[in-house]
Structure 1
Amino acid sequence: MNGLQVSPFIAALPKVELYVHIKGTLTPALRWKLALRNNEVHGDTGAPTFLETYFAGTQVLCREEDFYELGMAYLEKAAGMNIRYAEPFFDLQAYLPRGVPAATVLNGYMRAQREGAARFGVRSNWILCFIRDRSVEEGIAAYEAARLGPDPGGNEYDRPPMLFEKAFQMAKQDGLHVTMHCDVDQKDAADHVHEAIFTVLGGQGTERIDHGLNALDRPELLRGLQERGIPLTLCPHAYHRRQATDVLFPKLRQLWDLEGVKWCINSDDPTYMHDVWIDGAMEKFYHYCNMSKADMVQLSRDAVEISWADEELKTELLRELERFGRDNC
């Protein structure tokens, strides 16, 4: 956190999280517990990359109860950060090849969805991801097993969004939402954003872009976001690991000042990124961009509006933010 502490204002602010990989919330304590339960304790393998470490964590998730506990642990943590609604990402492709049935994964997470709302007051909708560096055919098979709403995640190197056009079309035909991952400063990042805005879904464009900060690289991409009303889900701490403070935060301020582009702040993979969650990411934006309290309330309002919560829940959340702003700004 670069010496920053989460302020009482940011801590109390009602929040919505639209970009968090549920596997990226697996704490060391829970990982060890599940590893012992499933006999998945292994020795040191040297210095693995981020993705190697990330996907190694999936090996301890084997039973319905494992997925349930991971989901409940996140939702309990979310409640402690005043997250009112979340859209966690999950996948099946890390489990189906090793014999974990789709129903095991889905039943665990959906049980957590129901019980997390009842016990912790955090409502959620869950988003099925395609792992971008796996085959399209495998992704479609996973979608057929789940019939939920896809977003493509994983390593994007030489894997543009259009590779998954067939799967996106299937999702739209099923009446589902589609968001797609356009990671920051990756190879061809701006080209991926262009495809997401102008090319996928037969030229309609995606409904939302995860990350997408490289839209700032080209004026036509910003115009496309404005004209098509495509919002972004950003994760400032994830970018701050690779970009200097005086480089990153002026970009975020530029995007904030741009008319007609809505976006929100999220945590991404917090346990693999210095244990900085959504509250820490919001504190960084609040501090380094000199945002007002009213601005931060508006940021949360924007998150509600670009979420896929139903209209009744959106109305409830917006009323809470109105009260919070009236009392704290």
Structure 2
Amino acid sequence: MHTLPTIAPERLPDLLAASPKAELHIHIEGSLEPEMIFALARRNGVALPYDDVEALRRAYAFTDLQSFLDIYYAGASVLLHEQDFYDLALAYLARGATDNVVRAEIFFDPQTHTARGVSMETVVRGLHRACVDARARFGISAALIMSFLRHLSEEDAFATLEQAMPLLDHIIGVGLDSSELGHPPEKFARVFARCRQLGLHVVAHAGEEGPPAYIWGALDVLHAERIDHGVQAVHDAALVRRLAAERIPLTVCPLSNQKLCVFPELAQHNLPQLLAAGLVATVNSDDPAYFGGYINDNFRQTFAALPALTAQHAWQLARNSFEASFAAEAERQAWQQRLEACFEQHAQRG
């Protein structure tokens, strides 16, 4: 166990906010705040089924993943032009910088947009331009991961990959998201094999609402390098041992898990259990505009709800996020040094 300077308990909330961290599970469409939805609707002449921002916020009473996705896809309908995607991503990255996010690996769902007649080029070029500008303006490193929608067919995923081929220099990996139940990873075995041949990193949502078997499938069939969510792994002891031994990261999203009723209360979340088992767990915000919190909100509220979590866990979670990222080793080491310095500073203030 890494020896840390002593941090006074009352300093922990400030430490959580100040610590450098990587965010590895953020859906850019899920950072679309109601205010921006209405602003883009006005700019693009899109009619919305809600009278105002507050009426839309009141609709965010989700009972499961599907009830969220219904509103999520409706909100994305205002994204039509390259500038819309640029504005969306830059707003998230500016917010991330204030939360001391030093690296963001951003999911985007092209099928949500191409199905509406928005071109792949429009989506990717807008998002990529924001990533480039955010590094210059905020000092934040950002990269794009293209996610396939698992409720659609593998043929549709192949078509999406074909559309993305001229733009792969702007994309570091592929993922798998949307409705988990009834759509096991095996459904997408061939398209993920092709993505690996192209040199793309591979991640996959598994074990959020789906069973541990979906995590096994993501590992053995898709050859996922990270598991997004993965909280159901605790129900399979052999799987937990494998995840720990192979250091397969889990991109855990506590407020999302609570909002979608994976855990009825945040105090029941199994993040301490994941860490105690030696898993490379990380904290992320998932769809922060819909789930009531960006990454620092997730850290603060989770640590407040789970008294077993300490400064040691805060350090481990941040360090895990760097280890789990697809950034260059030199960058990861630099962020680790910043993390050590941050803890030293807070210990001196304590």
Structure ranking higher on relative contact order (CA contacts 8 Å, 6+ apart): 2
CA deviation profile, 1:154-192 (whole Å, cap 9, x unmatched): 1112100111111111111111110000142x2x42211
State the secondary structure of the residue aligned to 1:126.
strand
State the secondary structure of the residue aligned to 1:87.
strand
Q: Provide TM-score, normalisation by structure 1.
A: 0.91
1:295, CA displacement in angstroms? 2.4
2:195 to 150, 157, 171: 171
State the secondary structure of the residue aligned to 1:181.
strand
1:240 aligns to 2:258 (yes or no):
yes
CA distance in 1, matches of 2:217, 2:73: 27
CA distance in 2, matches of 1:161, 1:21: 19
2:284 to 263, 266, 280: 266
- 8 Å CA contact 2:207–2:233 kept in 1: the answer is no
In structure 2, the partner of 1:159 is 183
Alpha-carbon distance change, 290 to 247 in structure 1, aligned in 2, over 3 angstroms? closer
1:41 aligns to 2:59 (yes or no):
no
1:227, CA displacement in angstroms? 2.9
User: Number of residue pairs matched?
Assistant: 315
CA distance in 1, matches of 2:152, 2:307: 38
Partner amino acid, structure 2, of 1:94: T
CA distance in 2, matches of 1:116, 1:70: 12
Partner amino acid, structure 2, of 1:191: A
Q: Using the aligned pairs only, state the percent identity.
A: 35
CA distance in 1, matches of 2:307, 2:160: 41
In structure 2, the partner of 1:3 is none
Structure 2 spans left out of the alignment, 5+ residues? 1-11, 61-66
2:101 to 76, 83, 86: 83
CA deviation profile, 1:53-103 (whole Å, cap 9, x unmatched): 100111100000000000100001101111111111002101112221111
For residues 86-101 of structure 1, the aligned pairs below 5 Å read 86-101=104-119
In structure 2, the partner of 1:229 is 247
1:200 aligns to 2:221 (yes or no):
yes
Q: CA RMSD in A?
A: 1.9
Partner amino acid, structure 2, of 1:13: S
- 8 Å CA contact 1:64–1:107 kept in 2: the answer is yes
In structure 2, the partner of 1:190 is 212
In structure 1, the partner of 2:5 is none
Larger mean Cα displacement after TM superposition, 106-115 or 29-38: 29-38
1:300 aligns to 2:318 (yes or no):
yes
